[in-house]
Amino acid sequence: MPPDPTAAVRPEPSVSVANAIGLLSGRYGPFNHEPRLDPAHETVFTILSQHTSDTNSSRAFRRLIDRFGTLEAVAQGDVGDIEEAISPGGLARIKAPRIKQVLSLMLELNGSLDLSFLREMPLQDAKAWLRQLPGIGPKSAGIILSFALGRPAMAIDTHIYRVCQRLGLIGAKVTADKAHDLLEAAVAPEQVFQFHLSFITHGRQVCKAQRPKCGECVVAAGCPSRDCFIEKEGGPGPAVSFGADGHGRSGARAPHSLPAEGIKT
């Protein structure tokens, strides 16, 4: 995920992380945590979700379980059969061997696919355990720990990353990987789940990559990027263009600069 170039010309944000969570949860929530899958199934689902839509990944997951019955059977299965089962999810030639590899390694490391021990591990150790699995980075580890086990682990996807940059909650040079650590330190553990779902919903529905709907945004009053986007729609101010990544680009006023790194709490 490239850093948002508008961040370099943003004023300081006037909304804190906690306030933004409150406002966005009020708009889109409430979000109640109910584990949807156990950690091993969530891991497979997460791999299937990479670079595809929820609809496609759900269909691929259902087909995989229908075909093999259990994840133990998937681990023993033929890669070609796995590939055929998950074909509606896209990138099946990459994901099929990865799923088999991940499940096999889980069995080798743990002796079973019961990963409930991750619930009791210190959070950083639990993340490290998952990240030793091929294809599991900080975002996937965060999703597995958060959604399957209710642990306060960050999972920063492209929508959350974009909203945080536009709100000035992370600086321009903060990578997505680094954003996980910064935001995890800044968000109260009991609010991580609310943060994830409220920010991702906001990014999908309102603060879109292309043409964010700032006029409908409940955190607009505290957003240092709002003027850039509203000016694009015809108001006074600097000329702003939209890049292919959907971020506004302004070549004019630079009221204040945000720190290159760090987070506003």
Binding site for ligand SF4 (CB under 6 A): 163, 166-167, 206-207, 212-214, 217, 219-220, 223, 225-226, 229
| Shortest Å distance, C-beta 226 to ligand SF4 | 4
Q: Which is nearer to ligand SF4, 64 or 207 (CB)?
A: 207
| Shortest Å distance, C-beta 53 to ligand SF4 | 22
- Using alpha carbons, select from 225, 217, 187, 232 the residue that is nearest to residue 16: 187
Cβ contacts of residue 261 below 8 Å, gap of 6+?
Answer: 171, 173, 174, 178, 182
- The Cα 263–Cα 250 span in angstroms is 22
Q: Which is nearer to ligand SF4, 48 or 219 (CB)?
A: 219
Burial environment of residue 246 by CB neighbours within 10 A (0 to 12, 13 to 18, 19 or more): middle
| Shortest Å distance, C-beta 101 to ligand SF4 | 39
Provide the residue type at 264 as one letter: K
Q: Which is nearer to ligand SF4, 127 or 162 (CB)?
A: 162
Q: Which is nearer to ligand SF4, 5 or 150 (CB)?
A: 5
- The Cα 187–Cα 22 span in angstroms is 12
Phi, psi torsion values for 44, nearest 5 degrees: -60, -45
| Shortest Å distance, C-beta 170 to ligand SF4 | 13
> What is the rounded radius of gyration, in angstroms, for the C-alpha atoms of the chain?
20
| Shortest Å distance, C-beta 210 to ligand SF4 | 12
Q: Which is nearer to ligand SF4, 215 or 251 (CB)?
A: 215
